[in-house]
Structure 1
Amino acid sequence: MAESAEDRYARWQWIHETAVMTGWDFAALGSRLVADEPPWDFDLTCAKAMARLQPCLDMGTGGGERLSKLVKSVSTVGGFISRRSSVHASEGWKPNLAVATSALEEYGIEVREYDSETGEPMPWSDDFFDLVMNRHESYDPAELARVVAPDGRFLTQQVDGTEASEFRLWFDGRPEAPENRLGPRLDELESQGFTITDADEWTGTMEFADVEAVIEYLAYIPWDVPGFTVADNLVALDRLAARRSPIEVTQKRFHIAAER
């Protein structure tokens, strides 16, 4: 017996309501999401910098998964952590704080709550860090200039604010941070006294196996289409479900290396 439209819509609603991310992990999507990777290796760049620049900070550490791997990989690039207290982490999303604290406890890494979008100062003193790393997290250039020591470095990989324009076309959404582009970010950092040593941008593809994978992904990343609901987008979702081929969405990334 074929599934009724009502049952299909109820299933989609259930997927969207029950999808909960722990830390920063898309493993639940498995092979239903295949994403291209940028040509640079941001994690390797960070590991090499950590090997010689401490104290260091990982901004927006998520569930601590990436920082755990970075700490382990420092020795493979010829470096070492001088002391356990020389690595720090911040996280702005409350559900991740406990997850990150638990994951990083064995490395002696304290996780402090910080979200640059609140306008609050970073919870560290002036010139505290020789290295600040930031992967897909917002930041305040003026606060970075305050906490990064002279001759210190800032490394970031960002999601371009115009990524996944297909989502906005299909679901009539608006990007949360359209100004998050390479050019403006370079200008902001330079205005705070940073010197740009490397920067690049890249465009690739994310491929979803089916419409259910898209719905689950949007539940994990609600800022891609703020306010998205299944009920308000049934026509668009039906059109996507009728496609025979995988559903493709544009990825956009940029990275910056800067010195103070």
Structure 2
Amino acid sequence: MKETDYKRLYDQVGAINGWDFSKVKCLSEGVAWDYGSEVTRVCTGTEALLDIGTGGGEQLLKIAGFVLQAVGIDNSAAMIETARSNGRKANQPDVAFLEMDAEALDFPDRSFQIVICRQAPFEAKEVARVLADDGVFITQQVGGRDKINLIEAFGRGQSSGASIDCLQDQYITELNDAGFTDIRSSSYDATEYYRSAEDLIFLLKHAPIIPDFGQAESDFEVLRQFIEDNRTEQGIRTNAHRFLIVARK
């Protein structure tokens, strides 16, 4: 494909997929855990659960049946509207989605037995405040080595120049300072294969991996060369670095 073909795809993929990352076709090797399973493992069916940074609510809707009450928040009005639409389509009207800032949670103290957060910012002291005694907080975040070959190819990226584990260490420190006494963490660095250029472009367009991706014409030449250099039988190769923190009050 030519540079102009990749630019055309860039203009099309958002209209085709919207913000639905579930449509992206990607094969992963070396994933050490499944986030949804890590959450449902601590559910007994009697809890109230809060999802911080719920986005379109896709992950929360999969988990909601394992708890008594589920609430998802996001600071984007568009994301909350998408989440509510997804909730109606999933026939789960009892799952509430609210527009709210993670740094100022508008809930009474000790409102939830479980708080979760997947690849979104959170405020440790606010999580501790709304979490019931002996409650559990689970967060999965993007690690500093994520999409490292893409960042090297473009010469810029969301974690450029950062210490590999600085965010993980920062969150553990903040949770400890907020009063959590049992904090456990783990990480993995998996290989990912995106099936097509469209799948990779959707990721770059909607995730903050390469800042301002697509705004410069040169990005599409870099993308063309990256795909040529990293195309394999399984797909276009990159990596996913993730870390998981499970903390109890």
Q: Same fold (TM over 0.5)?
A: yes
Please say which of residues 127-136 and 99-108 is displaced more in the overlay: 99-108
Aligned residue in 2 for 1:224:
209
**Residues 152-204 of structure 1 deviation map (CA, whole Å, 9 limit, x = unaligned):** 11011111143112121111213169476322221111011112343211111
- The correspondence for 1:204, drawn from 187, 190, 194, is 190
Say if 1:192 and 1:234 are closer, same or farther in 2 by CA, change over 3 A: same
Which structure dedicates a bigger proportion of its chain to helix? 1
Larger Rg over CA atoms: 1
Match of residue 6 from structure 2: 12
> SS of the residue aligned with 1:39?
coil
> Closer, same or farther in 2 for the Cα pair 1:215/1:52, shift >3 Å?
closer
Structure 1 alignment gaps of length 5 or more: 75-79
Aligned counterpart, 1:168: 151
What is the number of equivalent residue pairs in this alignment?
Answer: 237
1:108 aligns with: 94
Contact 2:19 2:206 in 1 (8 A): no
1:142 matched residue in structure 2: 125
What's the secondary structure of 2:41's corresponding residue?
helix
Whole-Å separation in 1 of the counterparts to 2:227 and 2:243 = 31
How far residue 70 of structure 1 moved from its aligned partner, in angstroms, is 1.4
Contact 1:171/1:228 (<8 A) preserved: no
Q: Cα deviation per residue 1:20-59 (whole Å; 9 max; x = unaligned)? A: 25454231x33xx322362223212312323255221122
- Map 1:1-260 onto structure 2 (within 5 A): 8-20=2-14, 21-27=17-23, 29-30=24-25, 33-36=26-29, 38-52=31-45, 54-72=47-65, 74=66, 81=68, 86-105=69-88, 106-116=92-102, 120-175=103-158, 178=162, 181-221=167-207, 223-229=208-214, 231-243=217-229, 245=232, 246-260=235-249
Q: Determine what percentage of the aligned residue pairs are the same residue.
A: 22
The 8 Å contact of residues 182 and 201 in structure 1, kept in 2 or not, is answered as no
TM-score calculated relative to the size of structure 1: 0.80
Letter of the structure 1 residue corresponding to residue 154 of structure 2: F
